[in-house]
Structures are given as C-alpha cells and as structure tokens.
Amino acid sequence: MNRDAESFVYCLFTLGKDEEEAHAHLKQNLPAGQEVDIGQIIDFYSRIRIGEFQFNAEKHVSERIAEEGQEQHLMKLPEEVKRHVISLLDAGGRATLRRVSPFFRALVDECPVRTNELIITIGRRSFTVNDRINNIHLDYERINHGALLHRGPNSPVVRPGDYKAIIKTDLIEILGNPRLRIGTLVIKDQDLGILETHRRVYSDLVDAIHQALVHNLHRGKRLKVDKLVMNIAEISNFYHILTFLDAAYLRQIQLGDQELTDIFRHIARFWQLPQWQNTRIFRSPLRIRDPNFVRNFSHFDSAEVRLAGETFSFERIWQLARIYLTRPSFIQMRIDLWRFKKQEFDVYMMGKQDATRERNGWSFRYRGSQNKLLLECTNDVIWFKGPEYREGAEPRPLPPVPRRRDDGLDVRLEQLLNEEAAANARAGRVGGLMEALRRGMGLG
C-alpha cells in the first residue's frame, strides 16, 4: 500500500473498523486496475497496534514521489470523504495522522476541531475546563502566588504567577483555535453562593473568560458554538459572553437552572444582537421581566420561559398567536405566569372570530392548511403548540449552519451520499465507506 492508502486505512482503524471492513472500504475507493490484498491490511493493522505506524524517516520518499510527478499513481479519494473521516477522529488520532502522512497533513490542518461539550466551571478556589472529546481536563487550584494545575490523572504542576493571568493565557490557547467548533459551551458556577461570599474572586474569573474571548475577537474570530448553557450567579454577564459568539452557528440558549431565582432584566441590551435573533431554541426557568416580550421572544421556534409579575395582557397573547400562524417552523412556546386569569381570558377569546374553543384552551387554523395552532391555558401556564409539536419529543433538528470554507465542509458530500444511496437501492446492496460515514455523521 502507498502512503495515501495507509493513511486512509489508519482512519478506518481509529473509527473501529476491523480488517475485513477496512479492506472492503479501500477496494471501493481504489482507482481502476489497483488492488490491495487483505493480508496487507492485516499486517498494517498489526503494525498500528504495536505502535509501528511511524514513518517520519521515510517522509522524504513520499515527498520525492510527488515532486517527480508520480502522484497520479497514488490512490485518490474524494476530498470530501477525507475531510469527514478526519473530522470523526479524536485529538490523538488527528495528531498522529498529521505527523505520519504528508498527503493528509494539509487536510488535517484545514478540518475543524470538533467537541460535543466544553464545560467551564467557576469555583471559590478552583477553575476547571473539561472537554472529554479532545482530552482536556484542567483544574486550576488557587494557591499563594500562582496556581496548582491538575491535568487529569497526571501529577499536579505548580504554575507561578497571577492566578487570573494563568487562566486567561490557557483559555486563549484553547478557545483561540480558529478551527474550533463547540457543540455545547457550558459556563457554570461550582457554588451559586460564590458571588455573595467571594465577589472579587468571581469577578476576576468571569473577566478572564471575557478577556480570552476579546483576544479571539481581535484576531478576527468569534467562537463557533451551537448551544450556549449559562448558570452563573451574575446573570448579566450573559450579554458579555453572547457578543463574542458567531451568530451563524448559535442555535440554542439555556439560561440558568432551578436553583437560580434572579429576575432577568437585561433583555433590552441585546435583543437586537444577531446572536439573539438567530437563536431558534431558548429555555430558562429565570423569571423574566420584559415589557417588550412579544418583540424580543416571538422569533424562537421553541421556547420555555417564566414571567415575573402578575400581569400579562390578553392582547399580547393574541399578538403571539397571529405571529405563530405566519411561521410554519414554529414548534412551541410555554410561558409560566403568576396568577393568570384564565376565565377572563376565555371571555376575551370568545370575541375572536378566528379562535375555536378546545377542551384545554383554544385553536387557530393555519391559512391554506388543515394544520392547527393550539393554545392550552391553565391558571399559571399558557402553552402554544405548533403542528410539529410532539408530546415528550425533542425539538426537530436545527436548521443547517451556512456552509463556510473554514468549516472544512463541502456540499459535494451530500451529493455523493445521495448518489451512492440511489445506486445501492437500484443494485440492492449496502454501501461501503459512504454508508459508514452516513451512519457516523448521523445522516441516516
């Protein structure tokens, strides 16, 4: 096998494919007239397992082959396939592949670094950063004149200097990677009483996060996050974090949990931010006091909120209904109220010609459709449910993120997947590598 083929088989090994599966996938992607014996795959797997996939000494041979114009004899895989195989590798697999394969190195550098969840926890005497996918486990323990850094199972290391500056420097390194893509960013307090007892410590650590994001922005990059979860004592810091996220990627926001009882009063500061306007799902148990609730919250496809105060005008509910009837993508809006006057509201709704009385509330029919918008009412909840709402089900898949060059994606991949699926259906067979990639990426 040549180096390109070995690199490809290494990816399949890292993804858990056995020798026979790897051989089948490789055969499907070899140019016409080229063959690889399964014995070569078995031998190569053995070398990987004992740590012999180290060809740095031979790197000049591969480079010489390319320089002499012999690269046309190498196995050529579609770049879309290479990119997505690489994106499924963990940090260790990416690092090894980059080191040993000059043919894959550029693609490894291009492909986004993905993590499902990055958790930042603020404590009285500690600050932790955890990313299970990329094996980041950092626990900064405050000591005199520095920090004691715990790195997973390794022995702790003393880092002399200013505690806040140490954390900020490391956060810049972690968050400053322009290829970083985070599924869920969690920023939370270890102890929700920290603000009252250690206000300066708390403010310093939140400021360290803020400065790391400022540094990232000065380099022309905003953090790519799909979902933001914040549960910190001073909820006004939500605004400062939100402004540094890439609006093209942010789709979900979860603010606070049941332990927090703050009233959220800062909507007016950020309701026009593209990060807020582009978000499709919002959940928060915090009591929200917002006189412009309809303007600031009606754009969500799915939302669960609580309102402070004892009044929520019937006219606002009617405004929400008219807005949702124009939005086929709407799923639900659940609003927890304080002493909602259900009987008076029912009398109000009887005067609306477009409203139909239901057992638990009211319904409205979408124009030109048989679908209904339901409005369920109790003495403390009003709950809009769109046609796509399903009891106990998660919201529908989020809208796709706009394709970007620096995201390492190519629209050709979907075309390849669809073409292969159609060909397999006609031939009555199961696809090879493309089918494995489809399952691995959750595309089917």
Q: What is the number of helices (H) and of strands (E) in the chain?
A: 18, 16
Please give the model's pTM, rounded to 2 decimal places: 0.68
pLDDT in tens, 229-262: 988 766 677 888 898 999 999 999 998 765 555 5
Question: How many whole angstroms separate alpha carbon 339 and alpha carbon 342?
Answer: 9
> For residue 325, what pLDDT is reported?
94
| Cβ–Cβ < 8 Å for 371, 385 | no
Question: How many whole angstroms separate alpha carbon 276 and alpha carbon 285?
Answer: 18
> For residue 324, what pLDDT is reported?
95
Scanning the structure block, which residue is given the tokens 């605004």? 239
Q: Which of helix, strand or coil describes residue 275? A: helix
CB atoms near residue 432 (< 10 Å) = 17
Question: How many whole angstroms separate alpha carbon 116 and alpha carbon 129?
Answer: 14
| Cβ–Cβ < 8 Å for 21, 108 | no
420, 423, 427: which is closest to 439 by C-alpha? 420
Q: Which amino acid is at 116?
A: N
Question: How many whole angstroms separate alpha carbon 85 and alpha carbon 91?
Answer: 13
Return the percent helix, strand and coil in the chain, to nearest 5: 40, 20, 35
> For residue 323, what pLDDT is reported?
94
Segments in the chain below pLDDT 70: 1-4, 31-33, 51-81, 84-85, 87-88, 90-92, 95-96, 100-103, 133-135, 191-200, 233-235, 257-266, 268, 309-311, 392-444
Q: 304 exposed, middle or buried (CB, 10 Å; 0-12, 13-18, 19+)?
A: middle
> For residue 362, what pLDDT is reported?
94
Q: Which of helix, strand or coil describes residue 422? A: helix
Question: How many whole angstroms separate alpha carbon 238 and alpha carbon 228?
Answer: 10
C-beta contacts of 431-437 below 8 A and 24+ residues apart: 432/24, 432/25, 432/27, 432/28, 432/29, 433/25, 433/28, 433/29, 433/81, 434/81, 436/15, 436/17, 436/21, 436/25, 437/81, 437/84, 437/85, 437/88
